[in-house]
Structure 1
Amino acid sequence: MSQPAPDLTLAILTYDRPDGLAAALTSCLAQDNRLDLTMEIVVVDNHPAGAGRAVVERFAARSPWPIRYIADLTRNMATLRNRGFMEARGRWLAVIDDDETAASDWTDALVGALQATGADIAVGPRFAVFEAGSPPPYDLQGRQFVRDLGLPDLAEIDLATASGRPRYGLGTGNSIFDMACCFPDGRSAMREAFGDAGGEDAELFVRLHRQGRRIVWAAKARVTETVFRNRTEIPYRLVRTRRETQHYVSIYLDGAAHPGIARVELFVKGLIQVVVGSVFSALTLEHRSTSRLRWRLLTQHGLGKLTWRRPIGFIDETPAAQ
């Protein structure tokens, strides 16, 4: 006999992070659950050797909720994220990444935000803990690695201006969706065309917003991300900044009220950013510094606007051998 559908599905996409997956699952199973929700956990593993299988089996043996393990080797992030959405049986789907851990009231805060506001989607803050023990010298407060929109709890997130320009770049880590409202008739969530270049989750949020779905800020739903050393290295930050700007341009133009004007605006702004960033980086000798990154980041923002038709795609995040 089939089990009744749970209230909430927790989805985790993992790739070769068994320790991170174990930490994420530990935090999921430690939820206060004061709302008395029925839950399930779905883990989609993209590693060829199934690095997460043993972890899931260990936790499933003592979990009060079902944990399902799905192996999917598709090399497309949009397809993989869609698999997690497709496998969800709950009324709501919450997403947490395999490098994140959730506060004990996380699910209560996310679901509570939807119940209190009648919104279709809620997104919460992401804080950072650094594998190296502290933020990098060029960002001593670690602000580049934190997602905090600075909005009041339960405030509605207006993701785009009237011209179509995105205001925020949101990711699915620490988010919740009302499945029936957001994906009627079981339609796919992510656009697979974004899966090779990245930005599929940012595009999803903006597209749903443009379709009239309401998104709120769940300030009390907290997760903490482990920032690995390789992600703080300057070459990585520069490439990632350019790639994220390319995503921004593609998403903007996809819904711009006047695409031709938007293209000109972005080209001019990108050119100015490249020139200003390059000049000031040279004048201040920033290219030799490990504690200053401002002008090099500005240059990458400009390059992203000028090269958006040639997306960077996946970035090799394999840590260098010590």
Structure 2
Amino acid sequence: MQMNPLGRTGLTVSELCLGTMTFGNQTPEAEGHAQIDRALAAGINFIDTAEMYPVAPIRAETVGLTEQIIGNWNAANAARRGDFILATKHSGEGSLARGGEPITSESIPRTIEGSLKRLQTDYIDLYQFHWPNRGSYMFRKNWGYDPSGQTAADTRAHIEDVLGALQREVERGTIRHFGLSNESAWGTSQFLRVSEDRGWPRVATIQNEYSLLCRLYDTDLAELSVNEDVGLIAFSPLAAGFLTGKYQGDVTPEGSRRERTADMGGRVTPRVFDAVEAYLDIARRHGIDPVHMALAWCRTRPFMTSAIFGATTMPQLEQALGSVEVVLGEEVLKEIAAAHKAHPMPY
């Protein structure tokens, strides 16, 4: 298991991160606890969650349940809390958490206290903003993205407000480090500017969607990551399961995420299945498990800190773990690059 720096924090995290967003919906608590045990035994030291989880679908009555499930594991394994980096996220404006309130200096202490209580821990290693109040081009909003309604001065004032609140939480010992999610290069640069001017928590990571099918990160954000030591924590590196091949033929397997969310968050498009087939063909011809290929490819990216994978079942977890033994050859990488040019951004 390769270990990578977590920004400039001095911490290192495993190349794979255990995602937990299905804990409490598709994945029962006992299965979730078994997954944590197995992931730690395999060398993973990074677990990611969020106050609004579980998803697929998000429901008001289950908000916070994933953190509770992890918290029950923490309570039963208190001596192991220092064995892993625990990350969670503060929902942005419009979520089902906390009535949809935005991220503010007033919401931060209450939200952290709620997460700490559910997680049954005294501290959070990496505290992330799930998406910015001003909006994001993630979640397929890039096709019609229009930032013209933003005001730079308001955004900077907001950043001052929330970073000051985070500094107070660092001083209290409730959080150790800070990250962003579903952010842009400009937004991240503003956080970096304020934090360096004021000596407040510096952005360590950005958690954005990234996979063979979703490569918005490859240009401006890639440059920012490399030059500012703000690495990517990639979510959906298997493209919400598309890259496993299980949805080919436009099918909906029983018990799958698509059974609960038919359009897969806007990922079901006329072009997606041809794009997936191009990558499956590469994997077949080179005798590589497509899950292993997708996750091993993430490791080759110059800005990658960790790839978050979610497993509904233990066999899926075991399959993902096998990717750490796979090294992609130059020919495979060339074919992946050609497939990307032939099938850019299929959703």
Confirm or deny a common fold (TM above 0.5): no
More helix by share: 2
TM-score scaled by length of structure 2: 0.25
TM-score scaled by length of structure 1: 0.27
Larger Rg: 1
